[in-house]
Amino acid sequence: MIDLDSLNMLKDIMEEEFQPLIELYIRDSDRRFPEMRQALQEGDCESVRMTVHSLKGASSNVCAVELAEHAYSVEKMAIAGDTAHLRGAIDELEQSYLRVRQQLSTLI
């Protein structure tokens, strides 16, 4: 799920700024899923795409590579306007995120 070697290197580099980074990632990511669902309910695939794109980038920044890859697949669905599958994909993405969140929470 998380590239722990890279994350530990990031922790060493960032020192006292590491914990605030992880806390910000969790806080921002927690709000992204309701935003995605609201945009999907409104039929706004572009807003879904933008939100999941932000999650993808943020996840890469905290070495959650698999989550970032998963987010990329959801982003492609949003680009394609695949509303039939987006709801389930967002739910699965959130479950993946919650596992990453749990793992990150143990490190701060």
- Round to whole Å and give the CA distance between 3 and 29: 18
* Res 108: pLDDT: 81
- Which domains are assigned to the chain? 4-105 (1.20.120)
- Round to whole Å and give the CA distance between 51 and 65: 17
Q: What is the pLDDT of residues 50-89, one digit of tens each?
A: 999 999 999 999 999 999 999 999 999 999 999 999 999 9
Q: What is the pLDDT of residues 19-61, one digit of tens each?
A: 999 999 999 999 999 999 999 999 999 999 999 999 999 999 9
Amino acid at 68: A
Residue 79 CB neighbours (<10 A): 14
- Over the range 15-38, which residues count as b (16 or more CB within 10 Å of their CB) and which as e? eeebeebbeebbeebeebbebbbe
What pTM value is reported for the model?
0.93
